[in-house]
Structure 1
Amino acid sequence: MSGIATKVPFLTLNDGNRMPIIGLGTYEAPPGVVENVVRVAIDAGYRHFDCADFYENEHEVGQAIRDAIRDGKVKRDELFITTKVWPNWHGKGRPTLSAKRSLKNLGLPYVDLLLIHWPTPLKQVDDNFYPTDATGQALFDNTIELIDVWKEFEQIKKDGLTRSIGVSNFNSQQIEDLIKNSSTVPVVNQVECHPYLSQEKLLNWCESRGIKLTAYSPLARSGTVEEKNTTSPLDIPVIKQLASKYGVSAAAICIKWQTQRGVSVIPKSATKERIIANIDLFNFNLTDSEVKAINDLNRDWRNNTWTQFGINKHRNWPFAIPF
């Protein structure tokens, strides 16, 4: 591994597996670009890659990973690969098919972490991530219970297709229902998290149950809404001041803040310099008061509202309760 890679701390999950605290997000990384991005990231020391069937680029991600393994740059057991099952694959037997589909695209025999991408089962069709009716309303499948999806995830793990299982975009009650009705506690809940959405209550709740939080959209850039009058976290004075103090990028401060709270982070970038800067941040530590200053920026502002096509009308819409 490179010098950077050896300095990236791990989080130990509740099933004993270990996850690098920083990974590379691959959402909205287009085919033709993402393959080179992953190559650059591996050279920079990334060993954690966050993927999903929904991103429609797993074939390219997998190609870069397999090439790096072939070329001796990294071993498979040094990597931590995550993928996710989209809500149109929640029906009986379909999470297994989705997992196998991702494995085929990645060209790998197993992933390290499989997540339920969203807790809102949609109509079970193969060829449309957002099945809708003639009015544009998302079509739901309310016959599907999340606990049944979770129990199939348990079997997928037993079958060796994934090392660990978890959830994404679940609220505390939805996770509690899984815990009470199964023998497995999710290892991770992957959620939107950034200085405007610190997720402090959900973080504390998950920690009390041995669940790690992973932050996507750590710079508040990806989502379903774009508030033009919302200042980027990278332009917040306190973030800029800390970046200047420590001689790093503003993005690095936002990411460092997360890791010091015990949150894993999956920033994305297509720029070599930013890819390197986003991971090379373990030679300094924010003070407790600086961490608190960033915590205090929270205003519970969510960029990914999960409201497109009326999905917020779903009985399992996760943002109907505070956390």
Structure 2
Amino acid sequence: MQRLWDNSKIKPSVLQIEVNPTITQEELVSWCHNHGVVVMAYSPFGSILGRKLNAPPPQANDTVLVGLSGKYNKTVPQILIRYLLDRQLVAIPRSTNDKRIKENIDVMDFSLTTEEIEKLSSFNSNYMLRTPAKWYPHPHFPFPKKNLTDYEIKCIIDHSKED
């Protein structure tokens, strides 16, 4: 972001990145807040709702998430959305289900404590649900690279074109 900021006549006002308890992006979020850049958090549930088998903890049945859900009489997804809002982020959950859309909106009648936000942030493992693979060969690719062959990189790029 700093390189973009330093080389832009018109400064960015919004950054859309993956943020959830398993990838908190603390340093980047802090940079954005300090520079007046709004952070839009996509994949607010990350892998927590159990869509990936090899994902790190927590899962939706984690005692911390279940405890907060019970305390506030909210669902785990609502707790995760509130977590982002209380960090001053714009949460953008994706759903086409009317019930879930209404549930996602029903998060404005409670706030998490600082301790609860810190507890959820302690799940951070920098685990990304999706890595923008089509940018993998770029010299400024900001994510950890695995030791891949040229053929494997080509397969990743070809697969990402399907998204």
Q: Which category of TM-score, normalised to the shorter sequence, fits these structures?
A: 0.7 to 0.9
Partner of 1:202: 28
Please say if residues 19 and 41 of structure 2, whose CA atoms lie closer than 8 Å, have aligned partners that are also in contact. Answer: yes
Contact 1:195 1:295 in 2 (8 A): yes
Q: 1:232 to 1:289 in 2, by over 3 A?
A: closer
Against the structure 1 CA distance between its residues 295 and 320, is the aligned structure 2 distance closer, same or farther, given a 3 Å change threshold? Answer: same
Task: Determine the structure 2 residue equivalent to 1:229.
Answer: 54
Is 1:258 matched with 2:66? no
Structure 1 contact 192–216 (Cα < 8 Å) conserved: yes
Q: Distance in 2 between matches of 1:290 and 1:314?
A: 38
Secondary structure at the counterpart of residue 110 of structure 2: coil
Equivalent-residue separation in structure 2 for 1:201 and 1:189 (angstroms): 13
Q: Secondary structure at the match of 1:234?
A: coil
Q: Identical aligned pairs, as a percentage?
A: 30
* Off by >3 Å, runs of 4+ in structure 1: none
**What one-letter code is carried by the residue in structure 1 that aligns with 2:53?**
K
Residue pair 1:219, 1:232 contacting (<8 A) in 2 also:
no
Partner in structure 2 of residue 312 of structure 1: 136
Aligned residue in 1 for 2:114: 288
Q: Is the 8 A contact 1:195 1:297 kept in 2?
A: yes
CA distance in 2: counterparts of 1:240 and 1:271, whole angstroms: 23
| Greater RCO, 1 or 2 (C-alpha within 8 Å, sep 6+) | 2
> Structure 2: how far apart are the matches of 1:233 and 1:195?
11
Structure 1: runs of 5 or more not aligned: 1-174
SS in 1 for 2:36: coil
- Check conservation: 1:220, 1:233, Cα contact below 8 A: no
Q: Distance in 2 between matches of 1:295 and 1:245?
A: 18
Indicate the residue corresponding to 1:216 in structure 2: 42
Q: Which residue of 2 aligns with 1:38?
A: none
- Structure 2 counterpart of 1:292, one-letter code: E
CA distance in 2, matches of 1:287, 1:182: 37
The normalised TM-score by structure 1 is 0.41
Task: State the distance in 1 between where 2:59 and 2:98 align.
Answer: 21
Q: For this pair of structures, how many residues does the alignment match?
A: 141
In the alignment, residue 136 of structure 2 is paired with which amino acid?
Answer: N
Q: CA deviation at 1:232?
A: 5.9
1:272 aligns with 2:107: no
Q: Distance in 1 between matches of 2:5 and 2:109?
A: 38
Any conservation in 2 of the 1:220–1:232 contact (CA below 8 Å)?
no
Q: Which has the higher strand share?
A: 1
Structure 2: gaps (5+ residues) = 146-163
Instruction: Map 1:35-114 to 2 at 5 A.
Output: none
Distance 1:217 1:286 in 2: 20
